[in-house]
Chains A and B, each alone.
Chain A
Amino acid sequence: MISCTEFIPAYSELFRALQRLGGRKAVEEFWNCLSDRFLTNLRELVSEHGLRGCWLYWSRTLNEEAADFTMELDEEQGLFRIRMHHCPSKGRLLEADHFLPYPDYCRHCDVLYRRVLEPLGFTYDIDLSNCDRAACTLTVRGPAKPHPAEGGGNPPGDAT
């Protein structure tokens, strides 16, 4: 059994194997398929709760992954952001002197989540410019949700 604590290097090596089998296209096809089949929980949470669904999804995963992060949700401004100070996955890959990570490892986070969030009407941006230091910033924007006290708090479909 591969421990769930050793999944990440297996995942990285899978990208390398797929690239050997079918080039970048094969890697992208896998990421698309994984997004469609595997991220159903993110899709359901965001469909039901809007931006708060992102907060609910990543609250669980990032804590279980013992990530070093700051996460913000501002529903009034329609903003959800994760500042990943040290990604546990990329961090592990970088710390292992004997292991060579897939060169474009971090881009799966761009493909997988974008593919869920953009069709639901959100904009998705991930800054991977510091991923060689296991750091990134993920931003999701959606429609602003007016504060109830400002008179804009009626739920969708409520004409009262």
Chain B
Amino acid sequence: MGVEVMDRRANENLYLHRDFHRALNAAVRYVHEHHGEDAVRSWLRDFARAWYAPLREALMRGDLDCLRQHIERTYGIEGVAVKVRQGPDALTVEVPGCPAEAYIRACGEDVAGLFFETTRTVNEAICEGTPYRSEFRGYDPATGAATQTFRRGPP
């Protein structure tokens, strides 16, 4: 038998561990069951405000391109092409299906009832304190498809 050794450097692989979607799904379910809906939204809001602070700063300057690039990158890395319409004051993103939800289902697990908040609440938090407001419409719980709109305007 002897000793088996696996030696890897970070640049030998692509960082794409889709099981993290399952872990996020489990976390959303856990917080919902043990601490309630508001706790789920509060956690996701705090996360988004902190982690996406550089993106929020760009939005405060009116840089909608930065948000479009972020969304295209988020879905693109998982192989999903989103349909984007961008005007001077608005960005609309049509997501044909959520790759995170698709992965969770492919693993034989149910998508948590509040999993969509990982998009809706996160988008709202990214827009907080910026000239933009987000909308999350047409969510299809069977596929995760939805339309996300970011529009300059009052709350």
Contacts and interface: CB of A to CB of B under 8 A. Distances in A.
Interface of A: 1-11, 13-14, 16-18, 21-22, 26, 29-30, 33-34, 37-38, 55, 59, 61-76, 86, 88, 96, 98-100, 145, 147
Interface of B: 1-24, 26-27, 30-31, 34-35, 39, 42-44, 46-47, 50-51, 53-54, 73-75, 77-78, 95, 98-100, 118-119, 122, 144
B77 A13 contact: no
Contacts of B51: 6, 9-10, 13, 96, 99
A144 B98 CA distance: 46
Given A5-B77, A38-B22, A86 B10 contact: yes
Given A6-B51, A70-B5, A71-B6, A64 B19 contact: yes
Contact of B74 (A3, A33, A65): A3
Contacts of A86: 10
A68 B8 contact: yes
A1 B50 contact: no
A46 B122 CA distance: 37
A14 B43 CA distance: 6
A88 B14 CA distance: 11
Contact of A34 (B4, B8, B23, B98): B23
